[in-house]
Amino acid sequence: MDFLKKLGIKEKNFGASTGLNWIENTNGGELNIYSPTDGKYIASVYQATVEDYEKVIKISEEAFKFWRTFPAPKRGEIVRQIGNVLREYKEPLGTLVSYEMGKSLQEGMGEVQEMIDICDFAVGQSRQLYGFTMQSERPRHRMYDQYHPLGIVGIITAFNFPVAVWAWNAMLATIAGDTNLWKPSSKVPLSAIAVQNIIAPVIKNNNLPEGLFSLIIGKGSSVGEKMLNDKKVPLISITGSIDIGRHAAIQIAKRFGKYILELGGNNAIILTPEADLKMAIPSTVFGAVGTAGQRCTSTRRLIVHESIYDKVKNTLVDAYGKLRIGDPLNIENHVGPLIDKSAVALFKDALNRLEKEGGKVLFGGKVLEGKGYESGCYVVPAICEAENHFKVVQEETFAPILYLIKYSGDVHNAIELQNGVVQGLSSGIFTNNMREAELFLSAEGSDCGIANVNIGTSGAEIGGAFGGEKETGGGRESGSDAWKAYMRRQTNTINYGTTLPLAQGIKFDI
């Protein structure tokens, strides 16, 4: 395929890179990559070993010693150039993301655009790594705080966003003065290899050392565990399931490391009687079926007031009936495949469990077969009637299942249902009632890290800090002041007088 050639993807690829050079080791075993789009073989990757990891870490450590002395605005200039080269490769990289992962071509291109956008954001941020000056209680003393680079930042990404989440972390870490070590999902490693190939000329043309942007593709049980327990990696950002995040947090905490956790979501939209359904229905459908329900921000629960419940249900069923499911590279299609057959099995199992708990499948739920669906990964997105307390509803199923949940009374009852899960990532409410909207955004309202009014749960912009509360992990990436997580904070006091007064009026004369 032409886009693979443009991105430097070979039939056989190596799984460890220092940004400029690939470690040519075949001892870690060969990983064959197949597209969920058509089930066809794309290419293979020789997985990295622990020995490869150690080599990459050593080079990344040396690069950090240089990079931390490089002025932040000049780091921003490198990020600006990365953004520009991503613009040049947007089409082939977006196509690869779509083909390797299975998301629609529109979303694949959008993911690369997110990378470009965060580059632009980080360039400006490189001149805004501000500290603060405080007033000292001691005469002729000045106090201030400042931020310094941390070191190597480990970035562990999930299959559903093969490249964008790396950029959220890497670009901010880069302008902060850190070096980056990326461990992508083994389900979508080719997109990560392509990114390494794209940015390598920027490093080379600016005479920068290798080790600024490193890549390690390997088994979680070996390379992954090594990273979690490595004191040479002071911060690790992890995107994945709650179980993965819990395990990682324990391992990292044992060595007093830092972590950013972006874990599961069980996101709900509330529709009150004053909702504008012409806006709410399309937003709900996109939130539920976009990326085939494989976003951490996917809409999983729709909490609808009883007075409009039947109308909403019928309108949604009609809208789902118009969805076009098929090859994600065909821009006319709305829904592509799930990532693999294991995901399909989880989809089917969740629907079976729902029915056993007393729920009902209103639409969809079938696995598609025949021409165009040879990979066995295509399903018809499901709409289900359910109750919030069902065990299957309380869990996150990474698939296109939308649970309709009825509420009565006022919006307080809907908010209680929305908050009644262990996850706390994204949330939304559709209402033209100012009081309902403001309540939803207040301390009494949504307990999620993201709370929206008259827009859905997915489609976050890079300008805002992204992340959630409770078992979603509490981390923040991307915009706002998320850069602070990639730096260490230091408080400084300078005495420019000729005496040594102590704070709190303590006397110590000798």
How, if at all, do strands 401-407 and 382-385 pair? parallel
How many CB atoms are closer than 10 A to CB 256?
8
Distances (CA, A) of 177 to 66, 122, 198, 491: 9, 12, 21, 19
Give dist(CA 394, CA 95) in Å, integer. Answer: 35
Amino acid at 461: E
Give dist(CA 487, CA 495) in Å, integer. Answer: 26
Dihedral sign, Cα of residue 117, residue 123, residue 127, residue 130: positive
DSSP lists the bridge partners of residue 302 as 269, 404
Look up residue 261 and give its two tokens.
């956790």
Catalytic machinery residues = 262, 296
Give dist(CA 105, CA 94) in Å, integer. Answer: 7
Strands (E), 194-316: 213-216, 235-239, 258-262, 267-271, 299-305
Note whether 388 and 233 are within 8 A (CB). Answer: no
Q: Which of 130, 145, 237 minimizes the C-alpha distance to 183?
A: 237
Give dist(CA 467, CA 474) in Å, integer. Answer: 6
Strands (E), 50-205: 132-134, 141-149, 152-156, 179-183
Give dist(CA 398, CA 97) in Å, integer. Answer: 18
Look up residue 171 and give its two tokens.
């670009």
Contacts of 199-205 with C-beta under 8 Å, sequence gap 24+, read: 199/19, 199/82, 199/85, 200/19, 200/20, 201/85, 202/78, 202/81, 202/82, 202/85, 203/19, 203/20, 204/20, 205/81
Which residue shows structure tokens 């992890």?
238
For residues 310, 312, 315, 316, the Cα torsion angle rounded to the nearest 10 degrees is -120
Q: Which of 429, 484, 372 minimizes the C-alpha distance to 130?
A: 484
Strands (E), 318-434: 360-363, 382-385, 401-407, 423-424, 426-430
Work out the angle between the directed axes of helices 189-205 and 90-101 (0-180°, nearest 10): 160
